[in-house]
Structure 1
């Protein structure tokens, strides 16, 4: 599948998540502990007919994985939310970061469009700095707190399914910056979520997100 994606997307180099380039953005985890979580998402969640569905927390998911060693070692026993995003997205649209790591368990194959917080230049970001990574089915990754990321991109007609594990409260409520403190404070958008929008992403424009991404709104074809 990766070679086909590379042929279909000459506008951007697509790396494997197992390539050394990924080490700037995160690390691949041992997926064997996540078998019950993967089966739950396969059997008890669906991909919407259009768009994405993001659920920040579903208690049943926490019941399956909260005691895993990989969860303990990644987050150090802070309260967590166990959610998922399923959908049909194909474009960059925005980039976000959290003041914490994030675990993604990719139930289906997908592509992530990533960048580093240091790539933000004077409160703007150019999409040419984005790096694309293909992630195979049943792969778990940690995404570092310094990594800019957003929705996965589908690589099949059936869309994607991906578990999302974060400190509890992340993405749950809209908040805005207070004053001028912090280099990236103006991008505060939701609880523990700082977001840079692409102006073509009109839904976020309507929600008053700052359109700080310049350049192409990268699309992944398959």
Structure 2
């Protein structure tokens, strides 16, 4: 699959999930069987549902969730577990959170990643992005200083991932809660967007210069 993706996306390079380049952004977590997440995720991931469901109680009841909680968060933090699902094939924007995010690839997907340290004056150049292929079943911790957004699909079928974050992350803000920062978009979510992003219509800050990276499917 990775070879085919790279052939389809030249000159863009999509790196493997075990590449040393990934160390700048996060780590792959081995030894946790997340197969118990497949049914709850795919049952909720229907086309009429939102592309992102912040928290699903049935996911938090699973053994694999408890294992991830202990491995990544020390088993002491209040967490949420939801799904990100859909037909996305573009970068559109970049976000970051305070606290690690765990992504469980229910299907194959591609992540487009960057570093917070490269944001200057609420602006970031998309030429700094790196792309990584996550095979189905991969469990990855994204560090809190990693820029990311929704994964991209690899085929004409939708992608599906489980997303674990500190509780409350991505909760919509009331007007009274919004600080002066232009990039603070939802609770524990700082977001900058490309001008082509649909989020611009919802008030997201346009701060990405360069190409709106697209992943061509195979």
Pairwise CA distance, 1:41: 2.0
Gaps in structure 2 of 5+ consecutive residues? none
Within 2, Cα distance between the matches of 1:56 and 1:177?
20
Deviates more, 1:8-17 or 1:134-143: 8-17
TM alignment of 1:134-213, pairs within 5 A: 134-174=133-173, 177-179=178-180, 185-201=181-197, 203-213=198-208
TM-score normalised over the length of structure 2: 0.92
Contact persistence 2:16–2:134 (CA under 8 A):
yes
Contact persistence 2:172–2:186 (CA under 8 A):
yes
The equivalent residue for 1:60 is 58
The equivalent residue for 2:35 is 35
Q: CA RMSD of the aligned region, Å?
A: 1.8
**Structure 2 counterpart of 1:72, from 66, 70, 73:** 70
Q: 1:66 to 1:36 in 2, by over 3 A?
A: closer
Within 2, Cα distance between the matches of 1:218 and 1:160?
17
Contact persistence 1:36–1:64 (CA under 8 A):
yes
Q: 1:67 to 1:143 in 2, by over 3 A?
A: closer
Dislocated runs of 4+, deviation >4 Å:
none
Within 2, Cα distance between the matches of 1:65 and 1:117?
33
What per-residue deviation string (whole Å, max 9, x for no partner) do you get for residues 5-39 of structure 1? 11111132110111000000010012533221134
Contact persistence 1:31–1:138 (CA under 8 A):
no
Q: 1:82 to 1:12 in 2, by over 3 A?
A: same
